[in-house]
Structure 1
Amino acid sequence: MKFKSLALAALLTSTAVAAQADAIKLGYNGPPDAEKNAVHFFATKLEEIVEAKTDIELELFANSQLGEEQERMENTLASPMLNIASFAGVSPVVPEVFVSNTPFMFTSPEEARSFFDDGKYWGMVEEAFAERTGGSEILAVVEEGGFLAFTSTEKPIHSPADFDGMKFRAMDPSQVALYEAMGASGTPIPWTEVYNALQTGVVDGQMNPPLYIIIGSLNEVQGYMTRANIQYSMQFLTANGAWLAGLSEEERRILEEAVIEANALTREDVQANVEGRVEWLSQNGVEVITPTAEAMAEFQKIGQPGFITWLGTQDIDKSFLEAAFADLGKSDLIK
């Protein structure tokens, strides 16, 4: 795996990292607006806490200024840096992360948070990431804005049958698999091109949390939003291993505590703003659809098996899948 060899080479050839010598870059997606971008909210809180308690200085780079997902991850593994990566950034190193993207996996934010904070599966993912990168780490699961929702241009989505023949923008291969399970097609399109693709009819819809629908002004080109609680939106704070190894015990302790505190504040902010963002969309050109309990059961019945079958075609040890569903008390779904 190229990420593994790159990271190991970087660690073997690097000199000792002085934690306080230079500002540590922290790169991520989305605008530098704490009200609109939960990832930026997290980054600013982390910066405030770390700089107040240590000599470590963080320098924030929003809007993918340090590169798109793969470039940022490669740079993070090769040099002193922090990076908030999406599935597209982490999955080339640990494809097992896609298990946590299984559709309709969580019934509430609390269930999702417990899954990542306390579950055996997520510990396995963190361990695999560290092993395959020679010491770099996933330090936190950072929330983006609650559950993902489907949006569409002209055809509302009330049930899986409505997907027939539709074309959707996909962020990564796992989303393509989900759309195909629903009877639609998925086309990978970079975030920066999503608005134009929807406006010109290259695709009919996409899925994102309300936060990103607003950030991308997708309400201007999408008429409907279906709150099907598809996946819980998250990204991943990753850190260069050599830089972490160069921290003192006290600096490492403060960093870990700062990550926990910034994450807790972000979760509170996300939870407090989800419904307000949905209401904003409903007042700005989007018809909001809340599926019935029967429709939700149908979404799960159709979407999950197809996605789990796709996971079986990937380079993923089945033990990760078993651990994840055992954490949720849903082992019967993968038998």
Structure 2
Amino acid sequence: MKRTSRLLGATAALAIIAAAGAAQAKELKYAHFQAADMSSPKHAAALAFETCVEGKTSGSIDVQVFPASQLGDGGQVIEGLQLGAIQMGVVHDGPISAVYKPFAVFAMPYLFDDQAMAWSIVDGAFGEELFDDMRSQTGIRVLGLADNGVRNFTNSKVPVAEPDDMKGLKMRVMTAPVWTKLVESLGASATPVPWPELPGALQQGVVDGQENGVTNIVNASLYQHQKYVSLDGHVFSWHAYMINDAFYEGLTDAERQAVNECVEISKVIHRGMTAAQDANAATILGEKGLEVVPVSPEQKAKFRELAQPAVREYIVGEIGEDWPNKLDAAVADYRGQ
């Protein structure tokens, strides 16, 4: 009886210790907008982050993943990050540049040659300086960028192979003015539509088309209400891995190291899946029933001649010349390697 009593007492003590440990775990709510399946780069990366962090910290951080805009659209997630109601979010460029204007510098069209160039620049000194400035202004720390896909135009009306084909089209754009400027510079009209409302806007004919990377076109089934895709690759778009800075600073050194290391792993998964889809855009979107419109280098030059000066002028008017000049310098340095 005494032995049984001692065993019960020990079991109870262990249960109390375990409960105390669980109670002390730091809750990390992690929000993103893609569907909750393993074909979604954001979700595959999020689950990898969850497993990685909880393993490295022995459960001292409890990661809770909220996919499919469960905690709101991009703007609402950013607001939650600033308030600390959401600890971590992976949000695309449009909503970020609405809160931190210099992020709009990444909307400069026809700038990067390929993923290798884009990754090198955002992972290097330029990205580090920009993200440090964003942290100081917003209270949100950018831990890294992963691909939102090379953005291409789709529409339900006409094949678009050159800028003249854009005239008369109503195009959905992300909710930041720089994207409106991009589309309008090419002769179409622009309608800002939040991401969760985009499929409905296409289905109902509120807009004729939109611009996104392969990942998002497939993930949200945008192809269902579109007929043509033009592979012009106008912008290398990004998802930013962001964390509330006060929460991050409140972690122990070991916990911060775990978060940093696990973001790097997640970023590689996310980039790899998205880049693979971009590289096979014609096949993937063709199999979804879209008519693929190739854009020749000569036609792409026409898009660049119209869009790049207009967008750059707008960006400079909004944020000054400092960040655009620094980005131009980073691109020139990369090409000079």
Instruction: Give the one of 93, 106, 117 matched to 1:87.
Output: 93
CA distance in 1, matches of 2:95, 2:203: 27
Q: Rg bigger for which structure?
A: 2
Q: 211-220 or 291-300: which moved more?
A: 211-220
Show CA shifts across 1:24-48 (max 9, x none).
100111211120x211122111112
Letter in 2 for 1:323: K
Show CA shifts across 1:150-202 (max 9, x none).
00112110011111122101112221111111011101112233233223332
Figure out how many residues of one structure are paired with residues of the other and give that number: 309
Q: Report how far residue 115 of structure 1 moved.
A: 1.3
Asked whether the equivalents of residues 20 and 57 of structure 1 are also in contact (C-alpha less than 8 Å), the reply is no
CA distance in 2, matches of 1:195, 1:328: 35
Change beyond 3 A, Cα 1:302–1:29: same
Q: Report how far residue 271 of structure 1 moved.
A: 2.7
1:273 counterpart = 2:273: no
Asked whether the equivalents of residues 42 and 142 of structure 1 are also in contact (C-alpha less than 8 Å), the reply is no
Asked whether the equivalents of residues 94 and 125 of structure 1 are also in contact (C-alpha less than 8 Å), the reply is no
CA distance in 2, matches of 1:107, 1:163: 23
Show CA shifts across 1:195-250 (max 9, x none).
33223332221101111111222222111101111111311111112211111112
Higher helix fraction (1 or 2): 2
Q: Report how far residue 281 of structure 1 moved.
A: 2.1
Change beyond 3 A, Cα 1:174–1:147: same
1:98 alignment partner in structure 2: 104
Asked whether the equivalents of residues 69 and 196 of structure 2 are also in contact (C-alpha less than 8 Å), the reply is no
CA distance in 1, matches of 2:264, 2:26: 24
Change beyond 3 A, Cα 1:23–1:277: farther
1:73 counterpart = 2:73: no
Letter in 1 for 2:77: R
1:229 alignment partner in structure 2: 233
Instruction: Give the one of 49, 52, 59 matched to 2:52.
Output: 49
Asked whether the equivalents of residues 93 and 237 of structure 2 are also in contact (C-alpha less than 8 Å), the reply is no
Letter in 2 for 1:104: Y
Q: Report how far residue 110 of structure 1 moved.
A: 0.8
Q: How does 1:169-318 map to 2 (within 5 A)?
A: 169-172=172-175, 173-276=177-280, 278-314=282-318, 316-318=319-321
1:158 alignment partner in structure 2: 161
1:329 alignment partner in structure 2: 332
CA distance in 1, matches of 2:259, 2:41: 20
Show CA shifts across 1:272-294 (max 9, x none).
33345542321232111121110
DSSP 3-state at the match of 1:103: coil
1:114 counterpart = 2:102: no
1:59 counterpart = 2:64: yes
Letter in 2 for 1:72: V
Show CA shifts across 1:4-55 (max 9, x none).
xxxxxxxxxxxxxx995342100111211120x2111221111121111112
When the two structures are superposed, what TM-score results if normalisation uses the length of structure 2?
0.86
Letter in 2 for 1:180: E
CA distance in 1, matches of 2:134, 2:271: 24
